[in-house]
Structure 1
């Protein structure tokens, strides 16, 4: 496909995981792509790499300005940078709550705010926020993370409304548990990594983790000019976790 031919895209958190898969897919489909990341060193051509800390407005604005200049404008923003958190509502101190909200929610605010002047000049402007099934399903020991993703879901709807008249579409993608470096670190730290992986796989009706490439495919769908009538939408890529209630195998 070449639906992104001639378009310019920026992906935050694009050096690994879902962000890297999205950046590579957009590039493969014709876009010129800039990646913003705390550590952009793993990024190579044809992707353009810029260091940015989404918790620092000055850093974000400088990186967006540089990327916009090098790309000659901007058509697509993939707001993907984020961090994970474990625990019940009792388990994290205020400082951790502030930090995770600063990255997962305010990081998207800062990046969108810096990109909007560029996006307003595009005939195919789109923003895709990486949300999570945690925004719409109660997951165990994910209180802080779920709260931030619930905020991202609501933010997406508000942004879609605010920028509708400007021709800027805003959507979000809601992955289930994805096989990313963060999940890898989580499994490595578990007392029984194999049992923990099996538990994560079992709670998704497909019986496996979501791949970064599958989430990237959904991001590309929402960002594509072919989806020009789609805005204010959340697209689940969760192996049926949110909506399906299959019977156990023994009861089929």
Structure 2
């Protein structure tokens, strides 16, 4: 365990040394597997999986990860000896080739140190796409509250504050006021819809709310009036600053699942 800590500190120092936003200086290098006692975050399926260890220093300009993975090939005669890692961000796309190690039933990607600028948004390796936010995010304390708010016809997420016994939508909130987020699924043709907040997570200046909208079962009795499924959440533990607020809305209807994303801004000062 002591050896793991020493290696981790070394990697953090390397990350700070290479802290820059020039995409030509993305660092990718193999490291020895001395991370058995530290949990990696898995992404993928039962046949192909990528594991990522986040070693990012918040004050740095770079993300620092250890990335490894495997592909179950069974008894098939797979000739592939390489995989590609793809890194994307606003205005850039970087692709590098990595070797795979073959064992009896697997092709494995040996642990790699990956240092990249914080403008990066996505990583793809072994055919698995991972959003950077899903690696570095932290849960943000919140609670769902019952307050009256105007009907909102469009789906989205809307910052609000509570003044003089009234909840008002606004993108600017003073730091001595509580921050509320109104999550709207938009206008629905009938009753019977349910909206649930699954999680609220933050990293740096991004706040991401994940919610699920369930439509009434086919043939169910519902009120034949327009409805506006809405949830209001009260946030805790955010510091003053400028935030990008994102809603990831999953809709389940007649067995079909659709995903939508909505964004707004919050100035908390």
Q: Same fold (TM over 0.5)?
A: no
TM-score by length of 1: 0.26
Q: Which structure is higher in helix share?
A: 1
Higher relative contact order (CA closer than 8 Å, sequence separation 6+): 1
Q: Select the structure of larger CA radius of gyration.
A: 2
